[in-house]
């Protein structure tokens, strides 16, 4: 099929826009990587842009040589895995019953669930609730309050709606229970939406620090992002910076960049593994067929 001149122009314009958007996303990462690999003199003189100057690995040596960073990293990896599994389980258990028309009170349940997307108690009531439940300064306070997203539940429920009812009806005729139908039919056919939501939950937990900032004071429970947040704030204080070992302004800048890269690269590595499911999972869950 021969494309018209207008179509070719539109394609070129679309490619150009994609290149611009990709550059906007990529250039800050390149600058951050270059800063983490540059010498302190180049950073002090503000000579580093897209390529490192005076190649230097001192900042990464400090990061990987400090067990505080390493411990926070592995704790965050463990927390992300657990939270993602629990969140997917809770999302599935909430979405699956709501696809059955014979579920009593389904409309009321849907209304109550959707209301939570627009209204919440607020920070102080949530803190008091966590305190009354005895969850402060525990690992559970980083898992339970955010174990399910209503938005993600709606995506999964819509995806379940897209699975032909004939499959479920044939299983019911054969005497399969609701749990058996879920395990044998819905879960195997829902890999795209599970992969997509797993990515959403994993990225949200990996980048999350506000809940730990409010509910946790035990440094052993600090996720990596809260640790990074405290370090970046500490560098702005001369007294605390000296205690942390940031004696050189240039080294402080390189160390900040190295810590950000250290906390960003692992989650970026997940995208290539889940990319093939991402678009299919979102589109199938967005529109009921």
Query: Is there a single domain that holds both residue 130 and residue 229?
Result: yes
Query: Residue 254 CB: number of other CB atoms within 10 A?
Result: 27
Higher pLDDT, 50 or 94: 94
Query: Is there a single domain that holds both residue 279 and residue 212?
Result: yes
The answer to whether residues 67 and 91 touch, using CB atoms and an 8 Å cutoff, is no
Query: Torsion over CA of 145, 147, 153 and 157, rounded to 10 degrees?
Result: -140
CA distance 129 to 89: 23
Write the CATH number for 208: 1.10.3720.10
Q: Among residues 211, 69, 198, which one has the least CA distance to residue 140?
A: 211
Residue 10 lies in a domain: yes
Report pLDDT digits (tens) over 204-246. Answer: 888 888 888 889 888 888 888 888 887 777 665 543 444 444 4
Residue 249 lies in a domain: yes
Query: Is there a single domain that holds both residue 133 and residue 224?
Result: yes
Query: Is there a single domain that holds both residue 37 and residue 145?
Result: no
Higher pLDDT, 223 or 62: 223
Query: Is there a single domain that holds both residue 28 and residue 75?
Result: no
pLDDT greater than 90 at residue 91: yes
Which pair of tokens denotes residue 207? Answer: 């980048």
Number of structural domains in the chain: 2
Mean pLDDT over 15-31 rounds to 85
Residue 52 lies in a domain: no
pLDDT at 243: 43
Mean pLDDT over 59-83 rounds to 84
Query: Residue 210 CB: number of other CB atoms within 10 A?
Result: 12
Residue spans of alpha helices (H) in 3-148? 5-36, 40-44, 58-65, 67-95, 106-115, 123-132
Query: Is there a single domain that holds both residue 29 and residue 165?
Result: no
Instruction: Name the residue range of residue 231's domain.
Output: 58-286
**CA angle, 259 as apex, 253 and 264 as ends, to 5°?**
125
CA distance 267 to 274: 12
CA distance 98 to 77: 32
pLDDT greater than 90 at residue 29: no
- Cβ neighbours of residue 164 closer than 8 Å, sequence gap 6 or more: none
Q: What percent of the chain has pLDDT over 90?
A: 7
Which pair of tokens denotes residue 139? Answer: 């690992």
pLDDT greater than 70 at residue 4: no
- pTM, to two decimals: 0.78
Higher pLDDT, 31 or 141: 141
Query: Is there a single domain that holds both residue 80 and residue 150?
Result: yes
Q: Provide the pLDDT confidence category of residue 247 given band limits of 50, 70 and 90.
A: very low
- Cβ neighbours of residue 23 closer than 8 Å, sequence gap 6 or more: none
Which pair of tokens denotes residue 49? Answer: 């842009």
Query: Is there a single domain that holds both residue 141 and residue 25?
Result: no
Q: Which residues of 167-193 are buried (b: 16+ CB within 10 A; e: fewer)?
A: ebeebeeeebeeeebbeebbeeebebb
Residue 51 lies in a domain: no
Query: Is there a single domain that holds both residue 29 and residue 87?
Result: no
Residue 49 lies in a domain: no
Query: Is there a single domain that holds both residue 71 and residue 187?
Result: yes
Query: Is there a single domain that holds both residue 67 and residue 19?
Result: no
Query: Is there a single domain that holds both residue 64 and residue 29?
Result: no
Q: Which helix (H) or strand (E) holds 147?
A: none
Mean pLDDT over 166-186 rounds to 86
């Amino acid at each position: 099929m021969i494309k018209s001149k207008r179509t070719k122009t539109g394609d070129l314009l679309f490619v150009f826009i994609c290149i611009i958007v990709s550059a906007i996303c990529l250039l800050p990462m390149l600058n951050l990587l270059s800063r983490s690999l540059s010498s302190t003199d180049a950073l002090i003189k503000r000579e580093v842009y897209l390529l490192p100057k005076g190649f230097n690995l001192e900042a990464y040596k400090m990061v990987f040589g400090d067990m505080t960073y390493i411990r926070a990293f592995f704790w965050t990896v463990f927390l992300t895995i657990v939270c993602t599994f629990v969140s997917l389980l809770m999302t599935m258990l909430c979405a699956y019953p709501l696809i059955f028309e014979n579920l009593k009170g389904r409309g009321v349940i849907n209304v109550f669930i959707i209301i939570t997307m627009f209204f919440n108690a607020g920070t102080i009531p949530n803190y008091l609730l966590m305190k009354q439940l005895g969850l402060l300064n525990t690992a559970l306070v980083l898992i339970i309050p955010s174990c399910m997203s209503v938005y993600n539940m709606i995506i999964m429920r819509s995806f379940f709606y897209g699975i032909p009812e004939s499959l479920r009806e044939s299983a019911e005729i054969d005497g399969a229970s609701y749990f058996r139908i879920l395990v044998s039919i819905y879960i195997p056919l829902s890999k795209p939406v599970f992969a997509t939501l797993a990515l959403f939950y994993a990225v949200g937990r990996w980048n999350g620090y506000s809940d730990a900032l409010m509910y946790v004071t035990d440094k052993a429970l600090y996720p990596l992002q809260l640790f990074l947040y405290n370090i970046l704030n500490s560098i702005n204080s001369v007294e605390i910076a000296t205690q942390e070992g940031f004696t050189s302004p240039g080294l402080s800048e390189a160390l900040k960049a190295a810590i950000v890269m250290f906390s960003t690269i692992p989650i970026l590595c997940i995208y290539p593994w889940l990319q093939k499911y991402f678009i299919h999972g979102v589109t199938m869950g967005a529109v009921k067929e």
